[in-house]
Structure 1
Amino acid sequence: DIDCVYNRGRHCQLVMGPAGSGKSTYCATMMTHCQTAGRKVHLVNLDPAAEHFEYEPTIDIRELITLEDVMEELDYGPNGGLIYCLEFLMNNVDWLEEEIGNFDDDYLIIDCPGQIELYTHFPIMRRLCETLGRLNMTVCGVYCLESQFIEDKSKYFSGVLSAMSAMVNLEIPHVNVMTKMDLIEGDYGNKPLEEDEDDIEDDSESAAEKKRRKQKRRRRLMEKAMTDREMDRYLEPDPMLMTEEADLVHNGEQPSSRSLKFQALNQAIVQLIDDYSMVRFIPLNITDEDSVEYVLSHVDNSMQYGEDLEPKEPDDVKEYDE
């Protein structure tokens, strides 16, 4: 018998999402999980403003250009400087091709910047995807949205719209991930409802004040008692969520920092999302290995990782006597 080594092809995850959505934590979690599973995986940093990593990047854009240098020499702001850095990278794509060309059958996790306009308004990331395709790499976009977005329905739907925009613009296999689910699971169902001024009855308050206090407490109890079924409405965006938000306004309970003039716009956005039915989020709790594996299995399936196995001759061929 001859030992056989398998060529799994070249695959990479393009990790995107708003600033603070947990992209770097996602990358570190996936690095640990993949290495434990025996995959040869490397971290690629494309954020010129990044400072700290749990894993040292194998490929780092900061070796080519840094945001600090751009801001100092060209007098750009943070956002303009970051866009300049990514444009500089794509104008010097030979550097990236040379760096990636060193990997034969490895698995890359690419940590991208958090400026949403890079994925929705500029062609930079699409050009990057085309470059990776020319290098015979199968790319899966991973769009991260943090679970705290569900506390503000308008903010949540803006995140859904951004995810859908990235899916349409990049035209690559795509997986949307709801990050920081461990925080949600701690807030809902496990912690007792803390007492506040709305829980204290006052005989001197008017009927209207009592009604307002009871409505506010009822809302807090509803948020506290969020069930798995309720959470599913956020994992698979339910347009009725925004309708319910509008009903609160008409019932005399104005949502925080919300204006009536935006309701029509919100409804139009929700209708757009519902018409296309493209966005679905996979929950990720980084403290749960099963949750991490569940997300990874979706990413692998979307880019058919492991389905292109081809035997190749090992580096050291054993000699056998005839």
Structure 2
Amino acid sequence: MPFAQLVIGPPGSGKTTYCQGMQQFMTALGRQVVVVNLDPANDGLPYECQIDIAELITLQDTMESLNLGPNGGMIYCMDYLADNLEWLTERLVEYPDAYFVFDCPGQVELYTHHASFRRVVETLVKRDFRFTAVNLIDAHHCTDAAKFISVLMLSLKAMLWLELPHVNVLSKIDLVQSYGNLDFNLEYYTEVQDLSYLLECLNRGSFTKKYQKFNAAMCELIEDFSLVSFHTLCIEDKKSVAKVLSVIDKANGCVFGGLEMGNNKIMEVSVKAEFQQGVLEVQDQYIDYPELYRSFREEADSQGPAPGGNAQFP
């Protein structure tokens, strides 16, 4: 019953860096970690890669031999992997006691509507692989309402298509301030509750204000499903990595794996992570509070606590 992470997300979201950092972190915890590279375009791997799709097929060779572009070539590579899946399964059984981290391509249609990649995952699930899909989204998308609504739709579609335990992660949270200021508190972007505030921002945009009915329909769709939320990650911060790993271990059941050797350490890290890296702590560490939020809090503090509890503001 192998446990595994399926690391997906758009190009540039930090999937390969995440796999490297997660391999180092879990190795330090005493786990046997096997990183599987499923990206045929990834030819400069910074981590120790035990299983590499380049042994089977590469994007460069595919493009040259079939005269395909990068997108068509990637689709062909995934189709080829699905048709030759015995190569992957034979390599995986060489590590019977390992925890697997799958570094996946950045072509998002593989996770939203293309059948071959899902066929690969379904085959491994039938072989008792306990997956968590870890969907990395670059945190800088939070600084733009239109970009954020697009990654919400992308994340929702991936959750529905792959049908796996799913953890959405805002990666590079330590760099978000360099791209601009957030319109709302960080907790608003991680909880994804009331999108009416986001809709107001969309309707103020010079381009998106022309599509107010469409904007409202998208926000309503996301709220109707009520599935998408995010955790935050700075891959260089051990507390941040421990928190994300704790959530992943609970999603795929690794933390409840019984009394096998090393499981007590997994439980210990998970329990400690519960008390670390809250959203407000992350914001205090990396992100300035929005001006509107600061003025609201100053006014609320001057008036004292509201009847029935604290006032809420995104």
TM-score, length basis structure 2: 0.78
1:245 to 182, 201, 219: 201
Where do 5+ consecutive residues of structure 2 fail to align?
262-314
Letter matched to residue 183 of structure 1: L
Q: CA deviation at 1:102?
A: 1.1
Residue 59 (structure 2) aligns with? 67
Q: Which runs of 4+ in 1 moved over 4 A?
A: none
% identical equivalent positions: 41
CA distance in 2, matches of 1:241, 1:80: 39
Distance 1:311 1:34, change over 3 A: closer
Structure with greater helix percent: 2
Q: Counterpart amino acid of 1:262?
A: Y
How large is the Cα RMSD of the aligned pairs? 1.9
Q: Supply the distance in 1 between the matched residues of 2:259 and 2:208 (Cα, whole angstroms).
A: 58
Does the CA contact (< 8 Å) of 1:182 and 1:287 recur in 2? Answer: no
Aligned to 1:127: 119
Rounded Cα–Cα distance in structure 1 between residues aligned with 2:220 and 2:255: 38
- Between the aligned partners of 1:246 and 1:94, the Cα distance in structure 2 is 47
Distance of 1:51 and 1:109 partners within structure 2: 17
Secondary structure of 1:296 counterpart = helix
Aligned to 1:232: 187
Is the Cα–Cα contact under 8 Å of residues 82 and 117 in structure 2 kept in the other structure? no
SS at 2:95 equivalent: coil
Give the match for residue 278 of structure 1.
227
How do residues 1-322 of structure 1 correspond to structure 2 at under 5 angstroms? Answer: 9-184=1-176, 186-187=177-178, 223=181, 230-237=185-192, 238-246=194-202, 249=204, 255=205, 258-309=207-258
Counterpart of 1:123 in structure 2: which amino acid? Answer: A
- Report the alpha carbon displacement of residue 259 of structure 1 after superposing the two structures with TM: 3.9
Q: Deviations over 1:289-311 (max 9, x none)?
A: 11110000000000110423366
TM-score (norm 1): 0.77
Q: 1:311 to 1:294 in 2, by over 3 A?
A: closer
Judged with a 3 Å threshold, the aligned counterparts in structure 2 of structure 1 residues 306 and 150 are, in CA distance, closer, same or farther, namely closer
Q: Secondary structure at the match of 2:44?
A: coil
CA distance in 1, matches of 2:86, 2:198: 47
Residue type of the partner of 1:115? Q
Higher RCO (CA 8 Å, separation ≥ 6 residues): 1
**SS class of match (1:58):** strand
Instruction: State whether residues 177 and 282 of structure 1, in contact with CA within 8 Å, keep that contact through their aligned partners in structure 2.
Output: yes
- Tell me by how many angstroms 1:174 deviates: 0.7
Between the aligned partners of 1:103 and 1:259, the Cα distance in structure 2 is 50
